Structure 1
């Protein structure tokens, strides 16, 4: 989907994205290997790779990764971070037009980006680039909305100050939606505990990495940061906050 300028809206947030966005749990990669036979001989296409956070998980596991990203600042950040790895290649492309060779990849991954895509057009493109026995994996770090005073206060803060928070949040897929997208090829899902321990600068940077956080030149920015400071001071333990996620992955073939 492109109506929210999906390929542009992170351009001025790359530095915060690189420093403060969470990685993905190694347990998830181990689960893929154990449950579905994914192994480092597989060629991985990481679509909507952003600054390379998901690509790095697979690179660290010994995989060859071709990352596809249309946003130039994010693409340059990924190349600066991961470009020295001979198993990494960065490509300027879109989910619906990757520019990759057909039937060339064993695994297509999408981490934290699927909700921005034209999903049916992306499905056709993934079918094209996957080998006949290939798999696709759709991944989100889903921030927990309840469970601690901080998590609940943070969600309230986003609803108060986020520029289009509700519109973005509603795009995240759930199990019925992903089951329907995969169709007969759907294999299953995994869920993993994940989190960050952040000081105030980390929480602030994590917030400002979000596309719906008002920028410094917008009137809601300063009130939002003030509210975040108050929330942090109320909830921090030893100067840190636990920023908790459920990492969710949906896996299937695309017949």
Structure 2
């Protein structure tokens, strides 16, 4: 596999991912329960689980969760964080080959990962592992690109220093593409505002958790850090900046 294989892109970023990636707004889970009936009795497969951020959200609400993650360092981080909960387990699997039994889960959850999947192959696998009438819920924390000087400056920084930022950003499915993927099975969609307040160390860690951020030793790394420091010093209020998201969720049956 190449270093750009999506199952390996984050192997050297796990610590930053664990410490600095955002969680998801509580309103998201409330929406899944209220609008779609996803009760805590449901069995959840968190596909592309990474370090377990979405798994933790479901566990805290009383669900049983199987985290499906092909990247070993990220999966190990999820186990280290959540493995003490008897309702949690992690398996080495991918979106097109989860390794889970037929009709074994009630909800397939995909948080911040669908853009790395092959959509037709994922559809076939999700349909196989979901019980009849089960649902898939797919969502992203979509970083706002404009609206404040910080958000606009951060986007410009990524375009200048990111190693393959444009190619990765273009992978994210837009709303119309997700509606088309679900087709007649779409049961609902929603958007929620979300944000992190970050000091400079948190902002740097958030940046370095991204797969397109140049790592130490790369010729763009130090110039990127200097540019980030200048942006932070210009935009910070009381020592922090607001890293703003629109959390977009789509849910429905997979046929």
Q: TM-score, with normalisation over the residues of structure 1?
A: 0.98
Asked if 1:184 corresponds to 2:184, the answer is yes
Alpha-carbon distance in structure 2 between the residues aligned to 1:193 and 1:183? 25
**Which residue of the partner structure matches residue 229 of structure 1?**
229
State the 1:174 CA deviation: 1.4
Count of equivalent residues? 254
Alpha-carbon distance in structure 1 between the residues aligned to 2:101 and 2:88? 16
**Which residue of the partner structure matches residue 112 of structure 1?**
112
Pairwise CA RMSD: 1.0
**Which residue of the partner structure matches residue 86 of structure 1?**
86
State the 1:3 CA deviation: 9.5
**Which residue of the partner structure matches residue 99 of structure 1?**
99
Asked if 1:57 corresponds to 2:57, the answer is yes
Secondary structure of 1:137 counterpart: strand
Alpha-carbon distance in structure 2 between the residues aligned to 1:142 and 1:180? 19
Asked if 1:207 corresponds to 2:207, the answer is yes
Alpha-carbon distance in structure 2 between the residues aligned to 1:74 and 1:38? 26
- Kindly indicate whether the alpha-carbon contact (under 8 Å) linking 2:115 and 2:172 is maintained by their aligned counterparts in 1: yes
Asked if 1:68 corresponds to 2:68, the answer is yes
State the 1:4 CA deviation: 3.7
Alpha-carbon distance in structure 1 between the residues aligned to 2:93 and 2:250? 23
Q: TM-score, with normalisation over the residues of structure 2?
A: 0.98
Alpha-carbon distance in structure 1 between the residues aligned to 2:183 and 2:197? 38
Query: Structure 2 stretches of 5 or more lacking a match?
Result: none
Any idea what the Cα deviations from partners look like across 1:4-48, whole Å, max 9, x if unmatched? 410001000000000000001111100111101110000000000
Asked if 1:167 corresponds to 2:167, the answer is yes
Alpha-carbon distance in structure 2 between the residues aligned to 1:65 and 1:151? 34
Secondary structure of 1:176 counterpart: helix
Q: Write out the 4+ residue segments of structure 1 that deviate beyond 4 Å after TM superposition.
A: none
Alpha-carbon distance in structure 2 between the residues aligned to 1:192 and 1:175? 14
**Which residue of the partner structure matches residue 23 of structure 2?**
23
Alpha-carbon distance in structure 1 between the residues aligned to 2:164 and 2:110? 23
Q: How do 1:2-41 and structure 2 match up within 5 A?
A: 4-41=4-41
- Kindly indicate whether the alpha-carbon contact (under 8 Å) linking 2:96 and 2:122 is maintained by their aligned counterparts in 1: yes
Query: Structure 1 stretches of 5 or more lacking a match?
Result: none
Any idea what the Cα deviations from partners look like across 1:105-159, whole Å, max 9, x if unmatched? 1100100100001111011000000001100000100000001100000000000
